[in-house]
Amino acid sequence: MTVLVTGASGMLGRAVARQLLADGTPVRTFQRTPSGVPGVDDHLGSVDDGVAVRAAVQGCSGVIHLAAKVSFTGAAADFDRINVEGTRLVLESARAAGVRDVVYVSSPSVAHSGASLIGVPAGPADPVHARGNYARTKAVAELLALAGSAPDFRVAAVRPHIVWGPGDTQLVQRVIDRARARRLPLLDGGAALIDTTYVDNAATAIVACLDRMDQAQGQALVVTNGEPRPIAELIAAICRSGGVAPPRWSIPGSLARSAGAVIERSWQRAGRTGEPPMTRFLAEQLSTAHWFDQRHTRSVLHWTPAVGLDEGFDRLASHYRR
């Protein structure tokens, strides 16, 4: 039976669609621009368009919902419309169409209040203390999704953490561009230990969740490579892959967090588009530890990452050489 993948024009969405096709599963995609994945049935539209969403879910047995507004800045109403109301519409439409299983692709930021997370499992989504509109609305949407899980409509949430890989414009290209422009400082020397996830591993985990819904339903599962490393080491590896020198200068994390808050407010008041050079959330992510206990996730999903970080960076370097 056909599986619908929303948000398949993004790096992770494309990887999920390709993984499903490789497993022999018919795939329909739904996003605002063509997915570019050969072999899928592309449907174009936005998740806040009820007519388009209802048409996309018809005849599907499962839904993997990745579509979201992902940004450090922007109007709160836009995040609510896409991330919360869009998710509500996908869920309601899927249930009405007789879809059995839904995987909601969430984020560990839904349970991050700004303090370090050291070897922890998936904590409860907390919209009240989440940092920024993206994390807040993803937390609200995750709670909404899991609250609707039932024997005849099974829902689980997967929280892939800091997904990267070839073709990544959200993290990798920004790191490389800022390093090339000498606008990428380390915070507190880049000593914070963090987990990341190579894109192919995130994709196989999400597909595994759909396959293991009998065990995963009703749960939120954090997915990472399980190889926490100092952020300075990770940034240096990304920079070397892209052929640029890694940053050598550092500023105190406390200073970056204060400056990020000021810059973010100024950016919004000025009505500027694009991403500001620093926000409080970004400074917190770059200066606090966040790595996760993966034992429960791997037990439930019967899954382990196939691509280690070093192999991932080799693949990233090959991508940039090409």
Percent of the chain with pLDDT over 90: 70
- Beta bridge partner(s), residue 251: 187
Instruction: Choose the catalytic residue: 104, 134, 198, 320.
Output: 134
Report which residue type is found at 152: D
On whether the CB atoms of residues 66 and 16 are closer than 8 A, the answer is yes
Question: What fold characterizes domain 2-167+195-226+292-308?
Answer: Rossmann fold (3.40.50)
Q: Do 256 and 185 meet the contact criterion of CB atoms below 8 Å apart? A: yes
Identify residue 138 by its one-letter amino acid code: K
pLDDT surpassing 80 at residue 239: yes
Q: Is the pLDDT of residue 236 over 90?
A: yes
Least confident of 57-61, 107-111, 202-206: 107-111
pTM of the model: 0.93
When pLDDT is averaged across residues 205-210 and rounded to a whole number, the result is 98
pLDDT band of 238, cuts 50, 70, 90: very high
pLDDT surpassing 90 at residue 97 = yes
Terminal CA-CA length for the chain = 37
Q: What pLDDT digit, counting tens, does each position of 37-81 carry?
A: 999 999 999 999 999 999 999 999 999 999 999 887 788 899 999
Token representation of residue 269 = 């008041």
Q: What is the mean pLDDT of the chain?
A: 91
* 104 tagged catalytic: no
Domains in the chain: boundaries: 2-167+195-226+292-308
CB atoms < 10 A from the CB of 144, how many?
17
Tokens, residue 219: 């749960």
Let me know how long the chain is: 322
* pLDDT band with cut points at 50, 70 and 90 for residue 249: confident
Residues 254-273: tens digit of each pLDDT: 777 777 667 767 767 767 76
